[in-house]
Structure 1
Amino acid sequence: MAGVAQADRYYEGMRKPFGRPIGRAALVDDDQTIMRVKVEDGDEQEARKALERANHKMPVSCRVKIEE
Structure 2
Amino acid sequence: LLAGQEEPLAVFEHEFTIAVRLALDADVSPGEIVVPGSLLYQACDDRVCFAPATAAVEWHMHVEPAERR
Q: TM-score, normalised by structure 2?
A: 0.30
TM-score, structure 1 as length reference: 0.30
Greater relative contact order (Cα < 8 A, sep 6+): 2
Q: Per residue, is there more helix in 1 or in 2? A: 1
| Structure with a larger share of its residues in strand | 2
Larger radius of gyration: 1
